[in-house]
Amino acid sequence: MEAAQRDRVGGDWRRIETLSNGCSLITWNRNKGGPQQSLSFRQAVNLVIDRADMIRQSGKLGYPARSFLPREDTELNINWHDAEAAKQLLEESGYDGTPFLLICKETERVDAEWIKRQCASIGIPVEIRYESKSSIARKDTIRQADALLSCLVFSDDEVCELESYLQEDSMIHQHLEPGLRQWIFRLTDQIYATKSKEKRRALLKQIEYRLQDEAQVLFLVHQKLNTFIHPSVRGLVINNLGWMDFKDIWLTSGQGQEKQTIEPIKAKSV
């Protein structure tokens, strides 16, 4: 794939890349009746999703996610997947074959259809409903979903992470059951009260660990963002939101090479 891209733009073009500061994920609506109310059911779906295969089938680059943000060991490609354990958990849950409604944007179609096939392999039917970017952000849409597939990218680690828990229009906030929501609120009070960045990060990790323990959020993929640039361009990097940072850019000129005008563009994940 990389070779084909380089051929299109020229063999001497240089590749730059970064990991997205966030991940794709599924959040379960525990304020609506349905099979997602069962912890064993949520854990079964988590285990049947083979993140590495999901990345291969999407044709994009990335790594299996085990948290909101990439970690030091992210590039080790550690992947949770155990279809047999998923089947056993499903039996323990007393699952009766009721389908669950997965809502996502049209841009998530490839991943949504892949997840549907994975769930079907252990006997879970999935109904998918595609919504526009504006519609999927509405509270009524979020509340109608049994599960919501989306991608969160944080421009500021602490602030954006806190907003995902506290803002009323956040899909994670809307899907939290009341007891879990109140527990998170108590921890965020501690986060706001501490001056230590290390302690704030530790408290945020405690929230993330509980979301994992209860399979409230299923972390899926950290996308790798990359693009190719002309060899005359220097100092250009992709920031963690996928935008090219032109702050320290400069151009080198070769003999007979015309000066180029550079316009801001969004890097693509491939």
Could you tell me the CA-to-CA distances from 96 to 78, 146, 161, 177 in Å, in that order? 32, 16, 35, 23
In the CATH scheme, what is the homologous superfamily, with its name and number, of domain 18-154+214-223? Dipeptide-binding Protein; Domain 3 (3.10.105.10)
Q: What is d(CA 102, CA 185) in angstroms, rounded to the nearest whole number?
A: 27
Higher-pLDDT residue of 59, 9: 59
pLDDT for 74: 73
Q: Per-residue pLDDT averaged across 81-107, rounded?
A: 96
Q: Which residues pair with 147 in a beta bridge?
A: 28, 102
pLDDT digits (tens, 9 = 90+) for 60-87: 888 999 898 887 777 777 788 999 999 9
pLDDT tens readout for residues 253-265 = 554 444 444 444 4
Query: Is 101 a residue whose pLDDT tops 80?
Result: yes
- Where exactly are the structural domains of the chain? 2-16+227-264, 18-154+214-223
At residue 206, what are phi and psi to the nearest 5 degrees? Answer: -60, -40
| H/E run at residue 268 | strand 268-269
Q: Which of 112, 133, 120 lies closest to 220, judged by CA?
A: 112
Residue 103 has pLDDT above 80, yes or no: yes
Look at strands 62-64 and 22-28 and give their pairing. Answer: unpaired
